[in-house]
């Protein structure tokens, strides 16, 4: 039985004391290491007006990463389609696929990835935007596979095979991915509440398509791997601080790890972190291996997309390296499917 694929989700974090240029250089460095370590995909996430995220111009960063690597698939995890014209995204990803053939993925999300004021600055309205998501996805896919007599064309784009994924954290995305016969990526790394229900719904209602014969589930999972359990837990405090700051209305750059963070928090804040980051493994290689295996056994995931929001770049590299090292000892789900690699 083949190893379960591991992939990377990167928000190109801007750390305290750093800047966007440093973050993007670190992104490319991590992508090159991930390629050598056998990761399947490297996805970038679209967020806007956030001081700690450097991947707002997601298509541009994808080109940066794809141009600096040679074999790993590179894509969007995801493009928040309410922010964009489907034609523009078809052209952008048609351009990327033309430059880097056979290596580009297009994950599509329904959320705006921003607040209403920022959405307005993007020149797209939130009112009704989410409701048009299914139509926009179908329109976008139609530019890659145009019908006879279609007047609007995506050039580059038409005639190209670019895998489309549906991203989500609710039952809406699961139902849509199933009805369109597309692979489904669930945001369990920060919103795991509906995960099991969404997976079940997706698998039960999946309808085969030209892109995919059987359901394929990729799940987000946080990894904070280090040489010891104590160090792994300490590394995790950076993302815990980020969640706390976001909930307190003070989002900012990724903070350095701290000691005894949990002991300083109100019980309700600790509960919030436990719930939001339930799909995580922090600690030594053995601890991380056990955590990943338990997650796969529970979910039957076909692929994991690992994210390591770690302050120190060297420690972040080491976390992904450890995860790659334990992967061969992970037993995949018995029903694991395959998708474009």
Q: What is the pLDDT of residues 284-318, one digit of tens each?
A: 999 999 999 999 999 999 999 999 999 999 999 99
Q: What is the pLDDT of residues 195-240, one digit of tens each?
A: 999 999 999 999 999 999 999 999 999 999 999 999 999 999 999 9
CATH code that applies to domain 6-329: 3.20.20.30
Beta bridge partners of 77: 107
**167 has pLDDT over 70:** yes
Question: Using CA atoms, how far apart are residues 47 and 58, in angstroms rounded to an integer?
Answer: 9
Q: What is the pLDDT of residues 284-293, one digit of tens each?
A: 999 999 999 9
* Residues, the chain: 341
pTM of this prediction? 0.94
Question: Which pLDDT score, from 0 to 100, does residue 326 have?
Answer: 97
**126 has pLDDT over 60:** no
Question: Which pLDDT score, from 0 to 100, does residue 202 have?
Answer: 98
Neighbours of 231 (CB within 10 A): 18
Question: Which pLDDT score, from 0 to 100, does residue 338 have?
Answer: 63
Q: What is the pLDDT of residues 1-34, one digit of tens each?
A: 578 999 999 999 999 999 999 999 999 999 999 9
Nearest CA among 107, 100, 76, 71 for reference residue 341: 71
Question: Which pLDDT score, from 0 to 100, does residue 1 have?
Answer: 55
**85 has pLDDT over 60:** yes
**247 has pLDDT over 80:** yes
Average pLDDT, integer, range 29-44: 98
**102 has pLDDT over 50:** yes
**128 has pLDDT over 60:** no
Average pLDDT over the chain, rounded to an integer: 93
Contact status, residue 135 vs residue 106, Cβ threshold 8 Å? no
Residue 152 banded pLDDT, cuts 50, 70, 90: very high
Cα–Cα separations (whole angstroms), residue 168 to 48, 57, 126, 130, 211: 18, 20, 17, 12, 19
Q: Where are the domains of the chain?
A: 6-329
Question: Which pLDDT score, from 0 to 100, does residue 129 have?
Answer: 45
Question: Using CA atoms, how far apart are residues 186 and 170, in angstroms rounded to an integer?
Answer: 8
Residue 79 banded pLDDT, cuts 50, 70, 90: very high
Between these two residues, 260 and 137, which has the higher pLDDT value? 137
Cα–Cα separations (whole angstroms), residue 324 to 30, 160, 213, 218, 288: 13, 32, 28, 17, 11
Question: Which pLDDT score, from 0 to 100, does residue 339 have?
Answer: 63
Residue 113 banded pLDDT, cuts 50, 70, 90: low
Question: Which pLDDT score, from 0 to 100, does residue 117 have?
Answer: 80
Cis before 311? omega within 30 = no
């Amino acid at each position: 039985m083949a190893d379960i694929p591991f992939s990377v989700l990167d928000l190109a974090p801007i750390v305290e004391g750093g800047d966007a240029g440093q973050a993007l250089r670190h992104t490319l460095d991590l992508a090159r290491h991930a390629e050598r370590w056998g990761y399947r995909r490297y996805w970038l996430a679209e967020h806007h007006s956030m001081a700690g995220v450097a991947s707002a111009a997601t298509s541009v960063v994808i080109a940066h990463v794809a141009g600096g690597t040679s074999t790993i698939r590179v894509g969007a995890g995801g493009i928040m389609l309410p922010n964009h014209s489907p034609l523009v995204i078809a052209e952008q990803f048609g351009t990327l696929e033309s430059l880097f053939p056979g290596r580009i993925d297009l994950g599509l999300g329904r959320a705006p990835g921003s607040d209403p004021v920022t959405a307005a600055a993007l020149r797209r309205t939130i009112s009704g935007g989410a409701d048009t998501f299914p139509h926009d996805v179908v329109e976008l896919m139609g530019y890659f596979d145009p019908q006879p007599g279609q007047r609007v064309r995506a050039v580059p784009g038409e005639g190209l095979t670019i895998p489309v994924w549906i991203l989500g954290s609710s039952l809406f995305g699961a139902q849509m991915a199933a009805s369109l016969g597309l692979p489904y990526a669930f945001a369990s790394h920060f919103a795991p509440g509906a995960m099991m229900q969404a997976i079940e719904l997706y698998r039960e209602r999946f309808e085969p398509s030209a892109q995919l014969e059987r359901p394929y589930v990729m799940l987000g999972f946080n990894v904070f791997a280090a040489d010891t359990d104590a160090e792994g837990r300490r590394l995790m405090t950076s993302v815990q601080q980020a969640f706390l700051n976001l909930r307190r209305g003070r989002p900012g750059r990724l903070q350095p790890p701290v000691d005894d963070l949990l002991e300083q928090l109100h019980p309700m804040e600790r509960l919030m972190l436990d719930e939001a980051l339930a799909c995580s493994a922090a600690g030594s290689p053995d601890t991380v291996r056990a955590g990943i295996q338990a997650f796969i056994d529970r979910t039957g995931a076909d692929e994991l997309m690992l994210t390591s929001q770690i302050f120190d770049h060297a420690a972040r590299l080491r976390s992904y390296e450890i995860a790659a090292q334990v992967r061969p000892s992970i037993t995949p789900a018995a029903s694991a499917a395959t998708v474009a690699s």
